[in-house]
């Protein structure tokens, strides 16, 4: 792939008032067709994607077939599903029979999946048109989308800035308006942090609410699939389609998925909003702190009860995560040996099998993936298992208990999604500094609770106007409550500053 163009400083971003419900309804009303919407989107991708590198592969042929089928069914009076007329992108670690599934890695550069992920099947059954596969940090390991084998993804709000990671391509595509919505995976904040950097909404449900079947595994006890969208309403609409039990994934919950926003936004005067002290420190960018304080005061003025909450294990979450996730990754990625599928190094005369394995994995995996595999292998090794992995599982239990205790005092936790806005490409090459971008998001995955990032306003950084995100968390399986509260917060931000919603 060619290096993305940097001739422009930013690209057009979406209109926050143009939500998925309106776009779907316009197709049903006959104001436009799915095919016309698709062709318009493909034209926009041709114009915008060269500067963003958001997409790795455009599935134009299969998308046109789907779009024509949707329009034919609508014309015949059929109901193709609640997402009929929508155009949706997929993170490139979700298996699809159309195109490639590469995880943005040379290891899977030519891999074609023989099956569709459950979420892909559910989108298609709901009438969605799947437009392409988005770039990401390799094997979802990163917080900036700079580790992609096909070059870095760029932020529509500033071409020389990262879109966050690992679902950076999905967030950039939504932000730039070159898809209606997108799916990503979230192991420690990988949809929420990019959404915050790109001015979008990202919703990570409770672990087990959405099937992981067909998601290329990173950390199996942490991974969750979720939507990146233009509004809370859009995210809720997609979640309702994706959620529910799946016989292919034994970890999915059998609890019914209710229409999340059937009762509309929640009345702030009925809320106890918890503000974690550990999320309001001087490590936050001043603009992040200022915007957070503004929304806290708006909630207080609307009658919400503001409760100070202590989450002393916040900083321990990063250490815990970077033991558990690499340990699971080292196991999950052991299958990539170049024998059954994937990249294989050219054999050398007299070379043994172990040497071939080592060269294949060294050449096929990028530096960050190799780093995490080695870290995970180390913490699982004899003599270190108890000191690192076992202890991290014990801390994981304590983090879950800490959240349980906090939710006895409040209905929702509110803080920033990330301590800072999007940083410049190449600015944070130190792995530890990069990992700390997820300090506020990883514990939701560790505890298995739902979380959402909504646009929280724009802040000034070196003369550029950049988005920041507000992070909300509720107890497990309280998705409906979380989405209703997020819708209320979203409305407050938009009333204060319409541009802050993401455009």
Q: What are the residue numbers of the active site?
A: 91, 166, 190
Q: CA-to-CA distance for 11 and 8, rounded, in angstroms?
A: 7
- DSSP category for residue 470: E
Q: CA-to-CA distance for 491 and 501, rounded, in angstroms?
A: 9
Q: 48, exposed or middle or buried, with CB in 10 Å at 0-12, 13-18, 19+? A: buried
Q: What is the gyration radius of the CA atoms in the chain, in angstroms? A: 22
Rounded to 5°, the CA angle 257-262-265 comes to 115
* Residue 226: strand pairing partners: 184
Distances in whole angstroms, Cα of residue 413 to Cα of each of 127, 214, 301, 406, 410 = 35, 31, 18, 8, 7
- DSSP category for residue 323: H
Q: Is 44 helix (H, G, I), strand (E, B) or coil?
A: helix
Q: CA-to-CA distance for 82 and 78, rounded, in angstroms?
A: 12
Residue 134 near residue 155, CB atoms below 8 Å: no
Rounded to a whole number of angstroms, the distance between the first and last alpha carbons of the chain is 28
Distances in whole angstroms, Cα of residue 320 to Cα of each of 313, 390, 478 = 10, 10, 25
Q: CA-to-CA distance for 114 and 110, rounded, in angstroms?
A: 13
Residue 88's closest CA among 4, 184, 203? 184
């Amino acid at each position: 792939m060619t290096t993305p163009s940097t001739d422009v400083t930013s690209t057009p971003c979406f209109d926050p008032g143009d939500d998925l419900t309106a776009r779907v309804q316009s197709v049903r009303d006959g104001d436009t067709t799915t095919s016309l919407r698709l062709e318009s989107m493909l034209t926009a991708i041709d114009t915008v994607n060269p500067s963003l590198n958001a997409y790795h592969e455009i599935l134009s042929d299969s998308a046109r077939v789907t779009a024509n089928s949707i329009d034919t069914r609508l014309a015949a009076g059929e109901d193709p599903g609640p997402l009929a007329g929508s155009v949706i992108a997929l993170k490139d670690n979700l298996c699809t029979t159309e195109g490639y599934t590469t995880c943005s890695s040379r290891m899977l550069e030519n891999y074609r999946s023989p099956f569709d992920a459950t979420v892909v099947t559910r989108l298609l059954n709901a009438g969605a048109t799947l437009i392409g596969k988005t770039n990401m940090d390799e094997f979802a390991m990163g917080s900036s989308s700079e580790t992609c084998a096909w070059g870095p993804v760029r932020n529509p709000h500033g071409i020389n800035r990262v879109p966050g990671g690992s679902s950076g391509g999905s967030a950039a595509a939504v932000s730039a308006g070159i898809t209606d919505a997108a799916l990503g995976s979230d192991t420690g904040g990988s949809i929420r942090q990019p959404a915050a950097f790109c001015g979008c909404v990202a919703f990570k449900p409770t672990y087990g609410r959405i099937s992981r079947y067909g998601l290329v595994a990173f950390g199996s006890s942490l991974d969750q699939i979720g939507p990146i969208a233009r509004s809370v309403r859009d995210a809720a609409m997609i979640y309702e389609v994706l959620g529910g039990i799946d016989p292919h994934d034994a970890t999915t919950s059998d609890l019914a998925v209710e229409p999340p926003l059937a009762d509309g936004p929640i009345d702030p005067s009925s809320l106890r909003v918890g503000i974690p002290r550990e999320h309001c420190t001087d490590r936050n960018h001043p603009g992040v702190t200022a915007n957070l304080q503004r929304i806290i005061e708006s909630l207080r003025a609307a009658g919400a009860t503001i409760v100070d909450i202590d989450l002393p294990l916040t900083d321990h979450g990063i250490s815990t995560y970077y033991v558990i996730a690499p340990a699971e990754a080292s196991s999950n990625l052991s299958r990539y040996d170049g024998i059954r599928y994937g990249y294989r190094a050219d054999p050398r005369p007299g070379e043994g099998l172990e040497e071939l394995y080592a060269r294949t994995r060294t050449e096929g995996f990028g530096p960050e993936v190799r780093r995490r595999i080695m870290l995970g292998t180390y913490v699982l090794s004899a003599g270190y298992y108890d000191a690192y992995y076992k202890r991290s599982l014990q801390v994981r239990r304590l983090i879950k208990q800490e959240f349980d205790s906090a939710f006895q005092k409040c209905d929702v936790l509110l803080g920033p999604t990330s301590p800072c806005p999007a940083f410049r490409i190449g600015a944070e090459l130190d792995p530890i500094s990069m990992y700390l971008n997820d300090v506020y998001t990883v514990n939701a995955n560790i505890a298995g609770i739902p979380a959402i990032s909504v646009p929280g306003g724009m802040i000034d950084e070196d003369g550029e106007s950049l988005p920041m995100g507000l992070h909300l968390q509720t107890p497990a399986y309280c998705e409906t409550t979380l989405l209703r509260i997020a819708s209320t917060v979203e409305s407050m931000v938009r009333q204060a500053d319409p541009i802050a919603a993401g455009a």
